[in-house]
Amino acid sequence: MAFASLTRRGLGVLTAALLASSALVAPAQAQTPPGVLVVGQIAEPQALDPHAVTAVNDFRILMNIYDGLVRYAPGTLEVEPALAESWEISEDGLVYDFTLREGVTFHDGSAFDAEAVVWNFERMLNEDHPYYDTGPFPLSFFFSAVEDVEATDTHTVRFTLNEPFAPFLSNLAYPTGLIVSPEAVMEHGSDFGRNPSGTGPFQFEEWRSNERVVVTRNDDYWDGVAASEAVIFRPITDANTRVAEMLSGGIDVMVEVPPVALSQFDGDDFSLIEQAGPHVWFLILNMREGPFTDQRVRQAANYAINKDALVGDVLEGTADVSSGPIAPAFDWAYAGLDPYPYDPDRARELLAEADAEGAEITFYVTEGGSGMLDPIPMGTAIQADLAAVGFDVTIETYEWNTFLGRVNPGLEGEADMAQMAWMTNDPDTLPFLTLRSAAFPEDGGFNSGYYSNPEVDELLEQARVATDQDERARLYKEMQEIVKEDAPWVYVANWVQNAVHSDRVENFTLEPSFFLLLKDVAKN
């Protein structure tokens, strides 16, 4: 019998295959040794050149390889000394003199001094610089107020600005202000992004595309040696796979845990860390045409949407309810106003007053995108809330880059309402770029809903150039009260960033800046 003999042979093959595979299976995974921390990243980094990248995902690696002149003090968004030991600001807010730390060297052995700092900013800002072509440097406009950088001594640097610019120090603490080794850039040219060299607590070791980025401890670090011997960053783009890796011990730390997966990490084997950050999630309302030209209709939308349900049920507690354009993480500038309460009756009243019952709304929703949380479920929940009080909402969904291409040029002729989220390192940028009359899309800003209030314009201009923080805080708080009443947006959520780590990991914290600082994190 052909079949019978085949089966006998087949059985033999099958047995052999099973034996072979059980040999493969035996040590399921080479456990990573103590001292080697494995971090699950959400994507492959773009480059490890801090001046060339824009994604938070890349910043998480960069902040461990490089230092800036200043940095955010742990747990805050206030600057403290880093590579600069101290600084002085002139009376008029135009001249900043930094005194640099001495005896610091880059990982490649070259010396960190005033010339290196000047070189860094020249490369980014001066189109004639011989290494300007190692860019592009998309965020270099953070320093567009810088008129001149000069080394006044081997360890002092002077920045001269063309106008007073309060966020300058904060921008220096941002990854775009991190200091790279000029020698390394000269050696590697455009490939510097894959051969990075800084002064940070870890030095670059290896980058295998789509598998891992490895950094090892810098034993000469000026601010104390790191607790881990090495950190491995693994890009795992699929959120479900990232969760599975965390559950099976393939990674020690994961960031941006999807809300639906949180319950899987309830046990003693894992710790969940949360930290509110400088993030605002809102709906832009079109104030140039359609129903939202009426303030009562805009307020009605704010009353109609159940923000508590959105952050509690849709986002599973991974966000707080927002009350305005400045995130609570900027505690000194945050006015702490009460958010619009969920009050559908009040919303119906306002709609009746404005004679806008049944108003037809076109609502732009994105499929995903930086800081957008769960935009589609949030969009449909918002649609339902608005429908309940008498709006007639039609959703149009776009892929993120298409979405930006439609929303950023302004909502006129496009939509009445659009989702948006911003993450900034200072309280100034978001309102300055999105709420001023001079920031209409046609003028190069992001005021896509055409909000215009001369009083707010004035306050924002003043706050940006004032150097006294108390004065700045007063101006911003006043602005927030006006803007809440005018309701150019529906204020929805402030993202609470989360991370999970295994019980082998110690001293892990999250920063309000959303950076990941791993120097003191240990693994047993």
Partner 1 sequence: MGGYILKRLLSAIPVLLGITIIVFLIMAMIPGDPATAILGSYATPENVARLNRFLGLDEPLWRQYFTWLGNMLQGDFGRSFRLNRPVLDEILDRFSATLILAGTAFVLCAVLGIIAGTISAARQYGFADKAITSVVIIGISVPSFFLGMMMILLFAVKLRWFPVSGMYSIWGGGDLPDLLRHLTMPALALSVVATGVVARLSRGAMLEVLRQDFIRTARAKGVHERRVIWGHALRAAMVSIIPVLGIQAGFVLSGAVYIEMVFQWPGVGRMLVDAILTRDILLVQGGVVFIAACYVGFNIVVDVAQSLLDPRIRT
Strand partners of residue 35: none
The single residue listed with the structure tokens 């894992």 is 270
3-class secondary structure, 370: coil
Number of Cβ within a 10 Å radius of residue 14: 11
Amino acid of residue 246: M
Q: Does 404 bind partner 1 (CB under 8 A)?
A: yes
Angle between helices 375-388 and 295-304 (to 10 degrees): 110
Binding segment (CB under 8 A) for partner 1, from list 32-40, 74-82, 85-93, 466-474: 32-40
Q: What is d(CA 74, CA 92) in angstroms, rounded to the nearest whole number?
A: 30
Q: Does 400 bind partner 1 (CB under 8 A)?
A: yes
CA-CA distances (angstroms) from residue 339 to 259, 276, 423, 484, 491? Answer: 23, 17, 20, 9, 8
Write down the least CB distance from residue 339 to partner 1, Å. 23
Q: Does 454 bind partner 1 (CB under 8 A)?
A: no
Choose, by CB under 8 A, the member of 79, 232, 386, 479 that binds partner 1: 232
CA atoms within a 13 Å half-sphere pointing along the CA-CB vector of 123: 28
Choose, by CB under 8 A, the member of 52, 166, 483, 496 that binds partner 1: 52
Q: Does 28 bind partner 1 (CB under 8 A)?
A: yes
Write down the least CB distance from residue 517 to partner 1, Å. 22
Q: Does 54 bind partner 1 (CB under 8 A)?
A: yes
CB nearer partner 1, residue 85 or residue 503? 503
- Find out whether 326 and 335 touch, Cβ atoms under 8 Å: yes
**Token pair for 395:** 């959703």
Quick one: how far is CA 229 from the chain centroid?
A: 27
Q: Strands 79-81 and 95-100: what pairing? A: unpaired
Q: Does 332 bind partner 1 (CB under 8 A)?
A: no
Own/partner contacts of 453-459, CB < 8 Å, gap of 24 or more, are 453/482, 453/483, 453/486, 455/482, 456/431, 456/482, 456/483, 456/486
Write down the least CB distance from residue 195 to partner 1, Å. 11
Choose, by CB under 8 A, the member of 25, 128, 268, 413 that binds partner 1: 25
Q: Which of residues 238-297 bind partner 1 (CB under 8 A)?
A: 238, 240-241, 244-245, 247-248, 250
- Find out whether 394 and 291 touch, Cβ atoms under 8 Å: no
Given phi > 0 = left and psi -120 to 50 = alpha, else beta, which region is 317? Answer: left
Q: Does 35 bind partner 1 (CB under 8 A)?
A: no
Q: What is d(CA 497, CA 508) in angstroms, rounded to the nearest whole number?
A: 14
- Find out whether 31 and 523 touch, Cβ atoms under 8 Å: no
3-class secondary structure, 406: helix
Strand partners of residue 273: 499
Write down the least CB distance from residue 494 to partner 1, Å. 16
CA angle 275, 276, 279 (to 5 degrees): 140
Write down the least CB distance from residue 243 to partner 1, Å. 9
Q: Does 86 bind partner 1 (CB under 8 A)?
A: no
Q: Which of residues 407-426 bind partner 1 (CB under 8 A)?
A: 408, 422-423
Q: Does 19 bind partner 1 (CB under 8 A)?
A: no
Write down the least CB distance from residue 338 to partner 1, Å. 27
Site string for partner 1, 158-197 (x = CB under 8 A): --------------------------------xx-xx---
> Residue count at the site for partner 1 (CB under 8 A)?
66
Write down the least CB distance from residue 74 to partner 1, Å. 26
Binding segment (CB under 8 A) for partner 1, from list 17-25, 88-96, 455-463, 480-488: 17-25
Q: What is d(CA 418, CA 362) in angstroms, rounded to the nearest whole number?
A: 8
Q: Does 67 bind partner 1 (CB under 8 A)?
A: no
CB nearer partner 1, residue 460 or residue 473? 460
* Cα radius of gyration rounded to whole Å, the chain: 26
Write down the least CB distance from residue 8 to partner 1, Å. 12
Site string for partner 1, 338-377 (x = CB under 8 A): -------------------------------xx-------
Q: What are phi and psi of 143, to 5 degrees?
A: -115, 25
The single residue listed with the structure tokens 């957008």 is 372
Write down the least CB distance from residue 154 to partner 1, Å. 32
Q: Which of residues 94-153 bind partner 1 (CB under 8 A)?
A: 135-136, 138-139, 141
Residues near partner 1, by CB under 8 A: 2-3, 5-6, 21, 23-25, 28-33, 36, 38, 43-44, 46-47, 49, 52, 54, 135-136, 138-139, 141, 190-191, 193-194, 209-212, 232, 234-238, 240-241, 244-245, 247-248, 250, 369-370, 398-402, 404-406, 408, 422-423, 433, 444-446
